[in-house]
Chains A and B, each alone.
Chain A
């Protein structure tokens, strides 16, 4: 069975609540069948609104959403057949776990013995066999979360939406649930659209991530590409840690550009700069810069150590470099590492490819 490339399709979708401000602007998004796509962005960026439009609780102000080739704007939520996991689980507090899971099956008039099989299967999928007769109030947060996931999957929907489902859990539980949800997705191959503001969650779980800001998708790509090759400075700063230099392009040639920062030229990879004189912001991941670099690196500069923070497996070093005193380096705590002392001047180098010259905003 060939997987459809545009199983879910947002086509020129705009959304406004008050007729004055667009919460979602010209959204173009294709989601492949069986894919795990995360909508990631700060709060108020429009990601939850998109999810709600897909679920049918909000109507697009303009444009159309297609599910499996069908326009769904005029289909009410209960006929869309989309499973959904809510932020606070939204388990029905007056029903047992079994009744919660039976709800979608009962409204679909699935015979009881078949429904029981499906419920058993769904509960074992989230390793909650034996919990069927409990009330949601008797479960821990993590267990409630699993029930919510099981309930969204029990009626075999083509698409499952998850709205910050792990937001209320503590850190350890959140991490283990991330893997669990990822594995469930891999095992049953359902298409998942996941909303979160937690970038590590997005990086861990997704096939592709759509980074939202200001009602627009800034970048839609796989986690590694998003991290390694951000296309604009918002994405570069939002995902992971980032060192930035603001400067002006002084020369562009041969796939490299020279950017003038604090009277020094550094070499960078021109991503969104076209010509001389343009303002730009250079983004460099902390782990791509090295202390005492080899001579092959085409950027070597020296700076002064301002702060050293011990982190166990690595040490964070804050350096004043080229007028930027927030330049962060991550130094692995292996024996090779050298004496990093406060106030010392050290040489730092990186390859121009890793320094991405992006838009200045």
Chain B
């Protein structure tokens, strides 16, 4: 009867699998309908914008579409000598059309990203082009400005031909494609992004370390104190969560400034001289202090939730078996808290690496992070494609860390609470 090949039937003779599917279908549809609004919300507000930003970071269609005929004519150009009349004529035709649409300003901005000096000569070309005669555009355009007769500017235009580009990513690493088409670094005094990347990693790393060192004993206390004290302590840990981030950052400004409370206290106890108050804000110190305090709960909570599950009898067992309190802690307690440590460190590090408001307010020039640079390009230079390129670089950095963590500790070993 119950041979393995034989299909199992229900009492009514319908195959069991069919019957099961039928019975479960209604529940499945219900379950899907319940999560559908959230799914839609996620797609609209999360997947779509991120996808759009990622696309923007490599999208370079704008120039391609502004100068379609020019790039078509340039296909046969070898880039050694100045292009011939055909290219100039095509460029003129494209340009006239742009002027009619009043879009030549955008072209000048875009080309200026590629090579400095386009802005003024495009403006000049627009003025002069009104009195151009038909034919021999090469001579006429070259006579507008001597840069138009420079082959390097034409090469710069040619470099904008492809629809997609990785140049923003190179720029994020302080690199660019030079005239010969090689990837090179910018001059040393202009390498701002590399400094920022390294500083971001450094600050995120040390904030994680400080958070860990401070959170471990707190979490241990929370997990072992009697209920009435641990509840009070828990409220103290959670209190910052209920306070606005701006308020907390602002209070650090009050505390840390040169005439601030901490400095007053140091002067009061004679630790520092009144005329030699240390700067604790608008530099890295400010970022460290404020970020550590703000991110501390994210370390305490995962640690606490793990420590809560460790039976106190394990430490006792360790001691009764002959381990000194330190050995019992190090060999028994500490390894059991690793899932919490991993979760806390990962959380704090990832939050710190993309931190924005606090470093912007208390970081000063030497304490700002890469996210401040991203915000700068989003708001001030309006170079969104560059901003999103850096955003994507940050995201991939986080993913690399996540991957590393998975290799070293194992992601199943994580415990967030």
Contact = CB atoms under 8 A, between A and B. Distances in A.
A103 B323 contact: yes
Q: Interface residue tally of chain A, by bracket?
A: 20 to 34
B329 to A, nearest CB: 12
B321 A104 contact: yes
A78 B320 contact: yes
Nearest to A77: B319
Interface in B306-344: 311, 313-314, 316-325, 327-328, 331-332, 335-336
Chain B CB within 10 Å, residue with most, of A78, A87, A155: A78
Contacts of B320: 55-57, 77-78, 80, 82-84, 161
A152 B314 CA distance: 13
Interface string A146-175: 000001100100000100000000000000
A107 interface: yes
Interface in A69-99: 76-84, 86-88, 90-94
Given A78-B328, A93-B336, A103-B318, A88 B313 contact: yes
Interface in A49-76: 55-57, 76
A108 interface: yes
A156 B319 CA distance: 16
A77 B313 contact: no
A78 B319 contact: yes
Q: Interface residue tally of chain B, by bracket?
A: 10 to 19
B327 A107 contact: yes
A108 B323 CA distance: 8
Nearest to A154: B321
B317 A90 contact: yes
A92 B317 contact: yes
B336 A107 contact: no
A87 B313 contact: yes
A103 B332 CA distance: 10
A79 B320 CA distance: 8
Contacts of B323: 78, 103-104, 107
19 contacts: A55-B316, A56-B320, A76-B319, A78-B320, A80-B320, A82-B320, A83-B320, A84-B317, A88-B313, A90-B311, A90-B316, A90-B317, A92-B331, A103-B318, A103-B323, A103-B331, A107-B322, A108-B322, A161-B320
6 closest cross-chain pairs (CB), A and B: A90-B317, A104-B321, A90-B313, A84-B320, A77-B319, A86-B313
Interface of A: 55-57, 76-84, 86-88, 90-94, 103-104, 107-108, 151-152, 155, 161
